């Protein structure tokens, strides 16, 4: 019988191995509903792709209410047919936004600001189509709660690194890691894990900068390259 994994020790070793500055996620400025949508796009994806899709939602729809009443096909068209897990993502996101509207009579999560962190987390977890990574990330980034967002890709990488055991589902694995680190370290750990996961768990990773903030203009060549990348992104 194999020895039990010391999760705190293995997680600390992993964070040391992947390196990166202990930066917090810089999308923290978003309102909770923005963060919910952005987190739904980031799940099993990357900050670059999520930022692109988030911008398309903002520029091609009037608001989130307009987005949620769109057809399944229209939502996929906005996200992009080549977006990671687009069918599953579109279905889950649409279900959640419709559920939020049914409860709030608006596509807003402002009511959560009046709740305690435990009640807010319970609300998010109870939403139709709720994804553990999304609810955990909204709580961490928007409400400064103690949470470690883990998507399926990161979950698999943590197993391969021996940080968690096979057979543990995402919520249980996240709960274990939450107990393995201090609350004050949650944002930095998430930023580093996300960056590492986006690289497929290879080598040291640097947390993504604010994907949604405008960067200062540079040389014309850099601007042209950025424009080409934006047009090429799904």
Which tens digit of pLDDT belongs to each residue from 54-92?
999 999 999 999 999 999 899 999 999 999 999 999 999
Residue 95 lies in a domain: yes
Model pTM? 0.81
Q: What is the CATH number of the domain that holds 48?
A: 1.10.340.30
Residue 11 lies in a domain: no
In a domain? residue 188:
yes
* Across 18-27, 39-48, 87-96, 222-231, least confident range: 222-231
Residue 208 resides in a domain: no
How does pLDDT run across 179-217, given as a tens digit for each residue?
Answer: 888 888 888 889 989 999 998 876 554 444 444 444 334
159 within a domain of the structure (yes/no) = yes
Burial 128-151 (b: 16+ CB within 10 A, else e): ebbbbbbbbbbbbbbbebbbbbbb
Residue 234 lies in a domain: no
Q: Assess if residue 1 is contained within a domain.
A: no
Domain limits for position 177: 22-198
Closest-CA residue to 67 (of 28, 109, 34, 27): 34
Is 216 domain-assigned?
no
Whole-angstrom distance, CA of residue 200 vs CA of residue 161: 12
Please give the tally of structural domains in the chain.
1
- Of 79-88, 120-129, 170-179, 213-222, the poorest mean pLDDT is in 213-222
């Amino acid at each position: 019988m194999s020895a039990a994994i010391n999760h705190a020790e293995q997680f600390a070793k992993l964070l040391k191995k992947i390196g990166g500055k202990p930066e917090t996620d810089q999308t923290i400025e978003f309102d909770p509903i923005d963060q919910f949508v952005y987190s739904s796009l980031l799940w099993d994806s990357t900050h670059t792709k999520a930022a692109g899709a988030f911008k398309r939602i903002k520029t091609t729809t009037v608001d989130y209410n307009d987005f949620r009443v769109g057809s399944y096909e229209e939502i996929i068209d906005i996200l992009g047919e080549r977006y990671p897990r687009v069918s599953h993502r579109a279905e889950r996101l649409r279900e959640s936004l419709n559920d939020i509207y049914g409860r709030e009579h608006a596509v807003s999560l402002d009511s959560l600001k009046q709740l305690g962190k435990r009640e807010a987390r319970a609300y998010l977890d109870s939403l139709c189509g709720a994804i553990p990574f999304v609810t955990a990330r909204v709580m961490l980034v928007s409400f400064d709660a103690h949470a470690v967002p883990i998507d399926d890709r990161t979950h698999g990488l943590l197993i391969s690194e021996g940080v968690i055991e096979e057979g543990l589902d995402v919520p249980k694995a996240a709960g274990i890691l939450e107990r393995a680190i201090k609350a004050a370290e949650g944002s930095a750990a998430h930023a580093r894990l996300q960056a590492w996961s986006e690289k497929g768990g290879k080598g040291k990773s640097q947390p993504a900068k604010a994907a949604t903030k405008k960067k200062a203009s540079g040389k014309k060549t850099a601007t042209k390259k950025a424009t080409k990348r934006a047009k090429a992104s799904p």
